[in-house]
């Protein structure tokens, strides 16, 4: 007899992987732990007839010759399989995507670090040209989406995304899938937000409003970043920090968000050993008392110098510029030669406009290329000073819908910062 099993509190990746093995080995018996996570339970209650499963009590373990384990590599995470652990004649197959090696040892394994175990199984299913029903495709898609946070977790690989595309081709139903995926903001998150709002501490530091709350969550809760975002919005403060302690483990998860340039959350979180970018970040602290964590954060905000990285660090200079009487032809050459998409236009060293590639669309006849740049340039000049932060530059670009900001100091253009400069800065700041 051949059985397939997975970890306790089976999630969609676990159930999907069990069912995928069943497609590869139709005579194998799927054995699920009694405890499965609530969404999987809801899914199974509707799909019971399609996905027939058993518990370890339904099978005579002494008859088992082959054991296929999916989505875990640890004996202690299986239910009712202890007797098999010591059987030397047992043939074990392992399919898993966890980076930390466990104690289920077998030469027959497919273990790779990838977004979801089901992706590894789909590789085999595709190779063997097995046919999937839309319902199977839907379950497998749920496995990928749940384990990769809808393909957003850093652990997601290109192969996970290709596998998702393959399942959509096989008619996976997105309406069904999304109704079973855990909503980012559920009952638990609502309760935490409500408690945080009730005892939110509201402070004013260096002209900015800041709210900070501590709450003991006693375990792992997902989507806390969503809770903090709502918390900041509801309290309408410049920056918000949540300290989520776990008394049993003696840990504190700190998550922050900021809309103020002068409060760089990423910088603060890096000081605490975490990471992030100026607008959002988090840190995990061990053996810290929430009260000390709070004091520490407030100290960091107090002493937080203006943004650590300033526009002067990311701007380009010297500035390539055009003069108002230059012809459009000359400017076109200049842009091509310097590889820029736009330049400031000066008159007597004073900034009077901006000309960009887009402005060339206004030209209808070739003769117009002889016209001076001042006829086509944009006179809407949005500038920034060198001491401001990249966040501020990004905000201005979005607000005024411009792709470049001349950097002005004492009425002189000393540099230029473009959309791609600010984007590069933010991409560098993303945590691994």
Secondary element (H or E) of residue 240: strand 239-246
Print burial letters for 274-284: b (CB count within 10 Å at least 16), e (below 16): bebbbbbbbbe
- Which segments of 185-235 does DSSP mark as H helices, in order? 187-198, 224-235
Shortest distance, CB of residue 71 to Mn ion, whole angstroms? 4
Residue (111 or 227) nearer to Mn ion, CB: 111
Q: What is the distance between the alpha carbons of residues 53 and 10, in angstroms, rounded to a whole number?
A: 13
Give the binding range for Mn ion (CB under 5 A) out of 27-35, 117-125, 132-140, 339-347: 117-125
Nearer to Mn ion, 117 or 304 (CB): 117
Quote the Cα angle for 150-186-139, to 5°.
40
Q: What's the min distance (Å) between Cβ of 264 and Mn ion?
A: 35
User: Which span sits near Mn ion by CB under 5 A: 59-67, 146-154, 211-219, 284-292?
Assistant: 146-154
264 contacts Mn ion (rule: CB under 5 A): no
146 forms part of the interface with Mn ion (CB under 5 A): no
- Cβ proximity to Mn ion: between 21 and 240 the closer is 21
Q: Shortest Cβ distance from residue 334 to Mn ion (Å)?
A: 55
96: contact with Mn ion by CB under 5 A: no
Residue 154 vs 218, nearer CB to Mn ion = 154
Quick check: 326 binds Mn ion (CB under 5 A)? no
Region of 21-29, 68-76, 173-181, 264-272 interacting with Mn ion (CB under 5 A): 68-76
Residue 117 vs 156, nearer CB to Mn ion: 117
Nearer to Mn ion, 96 or 262 (CB): 96
Cβ neighbors of 245 (< 8 A, separation 6 or more) are 214, 215, 216, 217, 251, 252, 253, 290
**Which residues are within 8 A (CB) of 145 and not within 5 positions of it... i.e. 6 or more apart?**
12, 151, 164, 177, 181
Residue nearest to Mn ion (CB): 13
Binding piece for Mn ion, criterion CB under 5 A, among 147-155, 198-206, 306-314, 376-384: 147-155
> Binding residue for Mn ion (CB under 5 A) from 15, 40, 71, 212?
71
Structure tokens at 105: 């040892």
Strand partners, 405: 417
Minimum CB–partner distance for residue 253 and Mn ion (Å): 22
421 binds Mn ion (CB under 5 A): no
Which letter, b or e, does each residue of 26-47 get, where b requires 16 or more Cβ atoms within 10 Å of its Cβ? eebbbbbbeebbebbeebbeeb
Is the preceding peptide bond at 100 cis, omega within 30 degrees of 0? no
Least distance (Å) from Mn ion to the CB of residue 75?
17
Q: Of 96, 146, 147, 262, which one interacts with Mn ion (CB under 5 A)?
A: 147
Tokens 């944009």 correspond to 378
Least gap, CB of 120 to Mn ion (angstroms) = 10
Binding track, positions 267-296, relative to Mn ion; x by CB under 5 A = ------------------------------
Binding mask 230-259 for Mn ion (x = CB under 5 A): ------------------------------
What are the residue ranges of helices labelled H in 339-410?
390-400
- Cβ atoms of residues 231 and 204 within 8 Å: no
Residue (71 or 261) nearer to Mn ion, CB: 71
Which token pair is 169? Answer: 């081709």
Cα dihedral 144, 148, 149, 154, rounded to 10, equals -160
Smallest separation, CB 51 to Mn ion (Å):
17
25-64 footprint of Mn ion as x/- string (CB under 5 A): ----------------------------------------
How many residues would you count in the chain? 432
Helix, strand, coil content of the chain in percent (nearest 5): 40, 25, 35
Place of tokens 């650590």: 308
Candidates 3, 5, 13, 189; binder of Mn ion (CB under 5 A) is 13
**Interacting residues with Mn ion (CB under 5 A):** 13, 71, 117, 147
């Amino acid at each position: 007899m051949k059985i397939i099993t997975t970890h306790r509190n089976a999630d969609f990746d676990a159930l999907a992987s069990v069912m995928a093995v069943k497609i590869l080995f139709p005579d194998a018996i799927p054995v699920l732990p009694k405890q499965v996570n609530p969404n999987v339970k809801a899914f199974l209650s509707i799909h019971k007839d399609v996905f027939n499963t058993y518990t370890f009590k339904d099978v005579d373990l002494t008859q088992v010759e082959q054991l296929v384990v999916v989505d875990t590599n640890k004996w202690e995470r299986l239910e009712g399989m202890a007797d098999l652990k010591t059987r030397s004649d047992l043939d074990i197959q392992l399919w898993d995507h966890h980076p930390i090696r466990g104690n289920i040892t077998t030469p027959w394994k497919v273990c790779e670090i990838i977004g979801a175990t089901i992706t590894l199984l789909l590789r085999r299913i595709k190779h063997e040209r097995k046919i999937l029903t839309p319902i199977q495709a839907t379950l497998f898609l749920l496995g990928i989406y749940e384990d990769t946070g809808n393909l957003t977790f850093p652990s997601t690989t290109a192969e996970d995304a290709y596998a998702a595309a393959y399942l959509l081709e096989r008619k996976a139903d997105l309406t069904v899938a999304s109704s079973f995926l855990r909503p980012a903001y559920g009952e638990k998150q609502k309760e935490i937000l409500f408690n945080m709002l009730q005892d939110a501490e509201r402070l004013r530091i260096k002209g900015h409003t800041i709210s900070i709350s501590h709450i003991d969550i006693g375990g792992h809760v997902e989507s806390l970043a969503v809770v903090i975002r709502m918390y900041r919005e509801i309290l309408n403060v410049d920056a918000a920090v949540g300290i989520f302690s776990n008394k049993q483990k003696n840990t504190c998860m700190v998550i922050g968000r900021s809309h103020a340039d002068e409060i760089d959350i990423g910088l603060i979180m890096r000081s605490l050993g975490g990471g992030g970018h100026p607008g959002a970040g988090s840190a995990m602290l061990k053996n810290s008392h929430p009260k000390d964590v709070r004091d520490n954060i407030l100290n960091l905000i107090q002493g937080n110098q203006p943004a650590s990285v300033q526009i002067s660090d990311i701007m380009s200079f010297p500035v390539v510029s055009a003069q108002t009487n230059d012809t459009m032809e000359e400017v076109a050459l200049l842009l091509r030669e310097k590889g820029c998409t736009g330049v400031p236009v000066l008159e007597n060293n004073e900034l009077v406009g901006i000309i960009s590639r887009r402005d060339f669309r206004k030209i209808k006849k070739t003769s117009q290329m002889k016209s001076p740049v001042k006829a086509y340039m944009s006179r809407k000049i949005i500038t920034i000073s060198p001491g401001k932060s990249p966040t501020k530059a990004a905000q201005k670009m979005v607000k005024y819908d411009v792709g470049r900001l001349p950097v002005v100091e004492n009425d002189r253009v000393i540099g230029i910062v473009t959309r791609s400069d600010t984007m590069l800065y933010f991409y560098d700041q993303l945590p691994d």
